[in-house]
Amino acid sequence: MATTVIDTIPAHLKPFVPSPTPATVTTEKSTIWGWLTTTDHKKIGTLYLFTALFFFLVGGLEAEIIRAQLGGPNRHLVSAETYNQIFTMHGTTMIFLAIMPLSAAFFNFIIPLQIGARDVAFPRLNAFSYWVYLFGGLFISIPILFGHGPNGGWFGYVPLTTKAYSAGINIDFWVIGLQILGISSLAAGFNFITTIINLRAPGMSLMRMPVFTWMAFVVQFMVILAFPVITIALFFLMMDRFFGTQFYEVAAGGDPLLWQHLFWIFGHPEVYILVLPAFGLVSEVLPTFSKKPLFGYPVMVYSGILIGFLGFGVWAHHMFAVGMGPVADSVFGVTTMLIAIPTGVKIFNWIGTIAQGQFKATSASLFCVGMVALFTIGGISGVMHSSPPADLQQTDSYFIVAHFHYVMFGGSIMGLFGGIYYYFPKFFGRLLNEKLGKWHFWLTFIGMNLTFFPMHFSGMLGMPRRIYTYDAGQGWEVFNHISTIGAYLLAVATAIFIYNFFKSRVSGDAAGPNPWGAGTLEWTIPSPPPVYNFAVLPTVTSRYPLWEGKQADIESARINQQSGKTAEQLGIAIPYGTIKPLLAAAFMIIMFSGLIVGHWLILVGAAATVLALYGWLTSPLEPEHH
């Protein structure tokens, strides 16, 4: 049988190639060196998934310590100084090391599959992003083990974080670590923008793309526009701390509000960066388990784009209490209310999807329905903050903590868990245990509400954020007590999930190409996919090729599901594995650490990074095509 003939025959004319066992055939060895040198988006996505889940547990442990400390009045479980490090790292870890990378796991694994591509546009840059994340995550997380953890809050307000008020190296790790992590996200942003624009299969117009890819597309634009701003904010703080500049020095005429503006111009788009991927996952899961297409696809796309734009116009609602004046307060109040509209529209479309379909309650779909409900609650408290006078009471209280945990946990995390249950079979070829999954869901749903709903009340009763302890007799004890119990329940729920995750990888039920009967391209190939993804690059004629596609789509899907051939047999060039992205990442972190270790190391690290980059850029990505 000719090996390259298949690639040249139009899809609808290709013969069906039967194979006795639809097997995953890969020439890749699953060794440690294979993982260190991988440029395969599926492997990189898997690395992100494991690392992100690890950091989720780290952030969760930090949360448990917080709740244990606050469970009753005047406790002293940890010192006040340690407590500052714990809550700072809880926020930093959850946002930058858990939620964003969990989204990245799905961007990496799923986007090329959903658009019918063999990989992302720049596979080595993709690997680089991961290694920078891993090394940067370790850089920012390890110091707390030695008592030098960042302790200025996840948003690092000046002047607290200036050298005058934070003389130790704690903030230095934070300032440098976040800049490192920013580089990881920026590189991925350029990669996925190029991938989504340029590597879509024939026939996949933008308005035929799955909504998850659309939301990811909006997110990448937000990343590349927002991260430079926080980079500059951090750079200024770093310059003040290390080199005595005056950016945030009041005595020199500097303005602490400069930090707040720069930070929140990044920070607000960041929260939409955190939630839009989860929105995208929900928009994939709910149609599958309602057995009908997403309700109002164009509206879902346009509302996502609108959220992306408007997200850059609301940042000062984090600053209603600083005295910006009535004009600024009013403008940002109005824009914040406006952004509730495209967000709310999505809720209705998800309800519309389920309402007229044949809903099936699985772990995946339950988490997504839970997301819709809990995010709505979080959105309601959010729109309450949009009124500046109301926010004067709410700001910096536990009412805000309640809000953002409803949208971040109830929204992002629930949606991401839904995505994990949905896509686990595609990643690993096995199904997660449904019974354990439902226990995980219900315990999480109950635990989450137990933990965070009472915070609305303690916040309204005046309990401030970030306090180490509190006196009895203010009416806060009962709410904190319930929250702590809820947090312990969440720990149990998460333990069940981790057990399920690792057990199912080994002994879960085998999953075929499409265990859920879904409609999009990633379900037209084996689980897990072969290294080349698609034996035959599909031609797309609809939004749900497996539900509505023409005969050619179905035919290419059949070929892809049962090909069973290696890349060599199909004549597909696979990019080389290479250690250079890892080396470039490692040398870059070494260069940054020179700021703390010694300035000579900056030069050494920079030289080594440049050498690694030269080696990377002058070697070919893949074998020559015929």
Partner 1 sequence: MSTATVSHHYSSTGLENRKIAIWAFIGSECMLFVSLISTYLIYKDRSVVGPYPHTPWTDPSTGHVYHAILNIPVTSASTFILLMSSLAMVLALSAVENKGKPQRNLGERILGNSKLWLFMTALLGLGFLGCQAYEFTSFVNEGLTIKTNLFGSTFFTLTGFHGAHVTAGVIWILTMLFIDFKRGLGPADALNVDIMALYWHFVDVIWVAIFTLVYLIR
So which residues are the catalytic ones? 90, 119, 154, 184-185, 268, 270, 272, 283, 317-318, 343, 346, 465
- Alpha helix stretches (DSSP H) within 386-476: 388-394, 398-407, 414-428, 434-460
Chain position carrying tokens 């686990």: 424
Cα 510 to Cα 516: distance, rounded to the nearest angstrom: 13
Cα 612 to Cα 278: distance, rounded to the nearest angstrom: 35
Taking residues 196 to 235 in sequence order and writing x for each that binds partner 1 by CB under 8 A, - otherwise, the string is -xxxx-x-x-------------------xxxxxx-xxx-x
Of 146, 298, 358, 624, the one binding partner 1 by CB under 8 A: 624
> Which residue lies nearer to partner 1 by CB, 11 or 463?
11
Cα 289 to Cα 405: distance, rounded to the nearest angstrom: 27
CB burial of residue 35 (10 Å; 0-12, 13-18, 19+) = middle
> Which residue lies nearer to partner 1 by CB, 49 or 262?
262
DSSP conformation class of 120: -
- Looking at residue 11, its amino acid is A
Of 68, 169, 239, 322, the one binding partner 1 by CB under 8 A: 239
193 touching partner 1, by CB under 8 A: yes
> Which residue lies nearer to partner 1 by CB, 54 or 190?
190
> Which residue lies nearer to partner 1 by CB, 198 or 356?
198
Region near partner 1 per CB under 8 A, out of 34-42, 473-481, 491-499, 613-621 = 613-621
620 touching partner 1, by CB under 8 A: yes
Q: Binding residues for partner 1, how many (CB under 8 A)? A: 48
- Least distance in angstroms from the C-beta of 625 to partner 1: 5
Of 186, 216, 448, 491, the one binding partner 1 by CB under 8 A: 186
287 touching partner 1, by CB under 8 A: no
247 touching partner 1, by CB under 8 A: yes
10 touching partner 1, by CB under 8 A: no
CB burial of residue 100 (10 Å; 0-12, 13-18, 19+) = buried
- Using CB under 8 A, which residues numbered 525 to 564 contact partner 1? 537
The token duo for 113 is 């599959």
Region near partner 1 per CB under 8 A, out of 143-151, 247-255, 469-477, 513-521 = 247-255
> Which residue lies nearer to partner 1 by CB, 152 or 189?
189
Contacts 24+ apart (CB under 8 A), 380-386: 381/406, 381/456, 382/340, 382/407, 383/336, 383/337, 383/340, 385/317, 385/336, 386/317, 386/333, 386/336, 386/337, 386/340
> Which residue lies nearer to partner 1 by CB, 204 or 400?
204
CA atoms within 13 A on the CB side of 195: 31
DSSP conformation class of 322: S
Report CA Rg, the chain: 25
Q: Which positions lie near partner 1, rule CB under 8 A?
A: 121-122, 186, 189-191, 193-194, 197-200, 202, 204, 224-229, 231-233, 235-236, 239, 243-247, 251-255, 258, 262, 537, 614, 617-622, 624-625
